[in-house]
Structures are given as C-alpha cells and as structure tokens.
Amino acid sequence: MSRSPRLLLLGLTALITALPARAGFLGFGAPSDANVNVVVDMTDEGKKFAPPTKEKPAFYFPVVGGYREEGAIVAGDKKPPTNPVAHLLARALAAQNYYVMGNKTPAPTLLLVFHWGYMNPQIDDNPDPDNPQKTFWNQREMLALVAGNTLKNVSQFGYEHEDILQAAQDERYFVIVSAYDFKAATEKKKVLLWRAKMSTPSNRVSLAEVLPSMITAGGPRFGRETKLPESVTAAIAKEGKVEVGTPTVVEDPRSRAAAPKKK
C-alpha cells in the first residue's frame, strides 16, 4: 500500500533534521580541509627582534586568554577544552624555536597571549526603503581579523580588496597569538611586538575540528610579518577530536648540546 504524500513529507523532514549540522545538506560530507586566512602584524618594536633559530631560540611566558565570542551570537557550538588548545599552540611554537620558559631555561624575552573562538559579522538592513545600503556594525573588527595591517598594501579597487571585503562578511573561527615584550611587561608596560591571526569560515565545521588546522597553518608564520593576507589549506581533524600527550617544559637546546657526555 502506497504512503500518502503527507507521510512522505514528514518522513523526509525528520531525516533532514536528524542529519548532523556540519555534515552538509542532504548527506554531503563534511569538508576534509580548511581554507585558513593568516595575517601577522608586526610593530616597529617587533621588527627589532629577529625570528628565533635553532641556535638562538626564544623563550616565552605563556598567558592563556582562552575562548572568546565576538559579534553576532551563534547558539549550539561548544567551546573546546583549554589544555589541549594551549598544548597545540606550544607544540607549533616549539617547531619554530619558541620555547616555554622553565627552571632550566634562560629568562624569557616574550610574553605570549593566546585567544581562540569565533567572530561573526553584525550586518543590519537599513530601515529606509529608499536606501538599500546595509549597516556593518563591526566591519572594523572583522577587517582587522582577516587583513590587519596588510589592508594598506591592498589596492582599493584590486581583486584582493574584494576578496578581503567578502571574507570580512563570513562567520569565522579564529586563533590569535599576541607577542609582548616580557621585560616591559614586568615594568607594567604593554609593548606589543607582533600578533598572528588565523581564521577560517565556520560553515559546516565545528571549532574543535578546525583549531588544529588554524594552528598548523599559522605556525611557520609566527613572528614573521605578512605583507598580504595568506591563504593556507590545512587538513581538518576527524570528528573534532584533539589528542595530545602529556605537556612538558622544554630545556634550552643549547644547554643540552654543551653538557659533557657521560662515560
């Protein structure tokens, strides 16, 4: 016996509702990689610091600022736990010769502050029917995230300018690493050296899934100024799981190299 059109419609509605939100409409799979926008702003003070090397690493004091929600609020997205995110950042920094300070390391020269979360545009229609222009309330903040200081290097009427304006209107997840002068911080002075901003559109993915992608994309650019926003493709963590080992403090590599060998 054939089912009525109404029953078929109800069944189809229930099936669509049961699909995971990030799996895409009608069963299209979640993306396997993320397009990460990376911008690193450097101050005049920051340009005095050469990027660290294996022979001359940099040591830092970490400050975990944690999760932030900015712009239009979106319900339902869970914030990932702090410890795994901080460890992923520490590991990416160590790959670029930035090490967490410890009892057996030299005094830190940097204070690094970590933030992550989402930033969404707040755009409202103009109530005046004769003026179709929309009001972009937090355009400055969204442009700072996707372009930063590189905006001055982009031609106002160029192709990149249109891409940046479009990216600023996307709902985005982000990771931000801010580097400050540690000595100045001990004197209660706030001297920013550089700020790395990694972000990606939040459609069809969760923050937990793309956090490793953003950190991986930004790692090689920490402490290195970008002239234009850079787009990096990075793989997405399966099922949003972030697995890390036991965090450890890294000793100064130079002290290990100079240590006498045991007979």
**Contact between 247 and 102 (Cβ < 8 Å):** no
Please tell me the distance from the alpha carbon of residue 247 to that of residue 17, in angstroms, as a whole number: 40
User: pLDDT higher for 254 or 17?
Assistant: 254
Residue 100 has phi, psi (to 5 degrees) of: -65, 135
pLDDT for 82 = 86
Please tell me the distance from the alpha carbon of residue 186 to that of residue 171, in angstroms, as a whole number: 37
What is the DSSP-derived secondary structure letter of residue 1? -
Domain extents in the chain: 36-242
> Per residue in 63-84, is it b (16+ CB within 10 Å) or e — as a string?
eeeeeeebbeeeeebeebeeeb
Convert the pLDDT of each residue in 103-157 to its tens digit.
999 999 999 999 999 999 988 877 667 667 788 888 999 999 999 999 888 876 6
Question: In the predicted model, what is the mean pLDDT of residues 3-14?
Answer: 36
Convert the pLDDT of each residue in 203-226 to its tens digit.
888 999 999 999 999 999 999 999
pLDDT for 123 = 82
With a CB cutoff of 8 Å and minimum separation 6, the contacts of 94 are: 100, 250
pLDDT for 258 = 47
Question: In the predicted model, what is the mean pLDDT of residues 184-206?
Answer: 95
- Average pLDDT score over the chain: 80
**Angle subtended by helix axes 82-95 and 207-218, to nearest 10:** 20
pTM above 0.95, yes or no: no
